[in-house]
Chain A
Amino acid sequence: MKGFEFFEPTTLAEASQLFAQEHTQLLAGGTDLVIGMKALTEAPQSVISLQKIPGLAGVTTEADGSISVGAMTKVREVELSADVQKHHTALAEGAAEIGSIQIRNLATIGGNIAHASPAADTVAGLLVADAQVDIASADGERSVSIDELFTGPGQTVLTPGEIIIRFRLPSPASGSHYIKHKIREVMDLAFIGVAAAVNLDNGTITDARIGLAAVAPTPIRATEAENLLRGNELTSELLQQAGEAAAAASSPISDLRCSAEHRREMVDVLTRRTLQGAVARA
């Protein structure tokens, strides 16, 4: 690991000013950055820790039922939060899929998202929760929808100095479910990840959201499949159509982990399974 200057600002304004400089990196949980610095794929001149800035960690349920998750909240806390488990099950399930307990005790949800891996395990759950991403800089705050955050692998709309500070999850779906397609039970990267969330009214789907990870340059929503579902009951025929529409929305690559064909086929399969799971919970 190369040497670097280390900063521990106590305010967001200070952190943002430091982070606006070139050759800087933010340190949240460190599970990506420290490994990257050891491998020399990352060699920042300055590392800016967010650990000492108050108010960035924790899960809060607001009076209107919406849930706010601070960017510095440990993934393990997201996984174990009773409110996240109950109202955004897919997000809790995604958090539980990351690395090992030891890694989840270090890693943060903000880091998982800011790293902008298309395969991030919390991203599909945030997509189907319609999460708003609050971003701070020296100029103040702004918000973007999670489906507008990513521009490519490792790329986001964040500009120099901008820091993700929290995720706001508006009114919950009545049921949601995340499935990670993988080989190992733990400590594996997703071949693909699929989340589905539904609202039901007397068996009719009033709203449906499907989030896909690791099947396109960025995490995506399968909007065509969602449109097919809205206003209908979940028949086996509709389930099949939704799975096919989600697969058609994907544009996976082949790599050493598996082929594009396999990934596309599994989008179809897992879209059906996650929808069934979400409806069963609704």
Chain B
Amino acid sequence: MAKHPVSLTVNGDEHDLLVEPRKTLLAILRDTIGLTGTKEGCSTGDCGACTVIVDGKAVTSCMVLGVTASGKEITTIEGLASDGELHPVQQAFINTGGYQCGFCTPGFIMASKVLLDENPDRTEEEFRHALGGNICRCTGYTKILEAVLEAAEEVRTTA
């Protein structure tokens, strides 16, 4: 099968690649570019571990064919910190211990980051609902939610 040229901007870096159409964006990020912070959980879009930000929107990268992401701007967990400073969501997950095995953490952080960009004034119930596409197999949801609420508070007060 013919390979296709794909240009991705990932965390600000441009990558010009030649990829098989059946490669998912997730596979390209992990296997081709080597950014293994984004995790593959269920591979069917149900668990949210593979969440990355494409043109400002959170998406499950296991459902995206890499060829369709050409020309788009992608942010992964590796690109969230700037100048050595963690993003408030990352810091809040550390402060509250919002992880157990850590496998779902990058997905939760990326999904939460967009929610805070859009509207940090959500209620706890609204955050719960909006994060419904992210599953924590360890079931550590209480601390995860604490982290998101703490980060929301941080974003509100520094805005």
Contact = CB atoms under 8 A, between A and B. Distances in A.
Contact of A100 (B1, B4, B65, B132): B132
A5 B68 contact: no
B63 A106 contact: yes
A76 B54 CA distance: 14
Contacts, number: 85
Contacts of B111: 101-102
A106 B115 CA distance: 16
Nearest to A74: B57
A187 B2 contact: no
Contacts of A103: 45, 60, 63, 133
A38 interface: yes
B17 interface: no
A47 B45 CA distance: 20
Interface residues of B, number: 31
A155 interface: no
B22 interface: yes
B68 A37 contact: no
B68 A51 contact: yes
Interface of B: 1-2, 4, 20-22, 24, 43-46, 48, 51, 54, 57-60, 62-65, 67-68, 111, 115, 129-130, 132-134
A113 B45 CA distance: 19
Interface string A37-53: 11000000001010100
Contact of A3 (B4, B22, B67, B115): B22
26 contacts: A3-B1, A3-B20, A3-B21, A3-B22, A5-B1, A6-B65, A6-B67, A8-B67, A27-B65, A30-B63, A35-B63, A37-B22, A47-B65, A76-B57, A100-B134, A101-B111, A102-B45, A102-B48, A102-B51, A102-B111, A102-B133, A103-B60, A103-B133, A105-B59, A106-B63, A186-B129
A37 B1 CA distance: 15
Given A3-B21, A3-B22, A186 B65 contact: no
A6 to B, nearest CB: 4
Contacts of A184: 132
Most chain B CB atoms below 10 A, which of A3, A35, A101, A185? A101
A102 B54 CA distance: 10
What 3 A-B pairs are tightest by C-beta distance, nearest first? A100-B133, A186-B132, A6-B21
A34 B24 contact: yes
A101 B63 contact: no
Given A102-B58, A105-B59, A6 B132 contact: no
A100 B48 CA distance: 9
B48 to A, nearest CB: 6
B59 A186 contact: no
A31 interface: yes
Most chain A CB atoms below 10 A, which of B51, B62, B67? B67
A1 B65 CA distance: 11
Contacts of A101: 58, 111, 115, 130, 133
Given A1-B22, A105-B59, A106-B60, A27 B129 contact: no
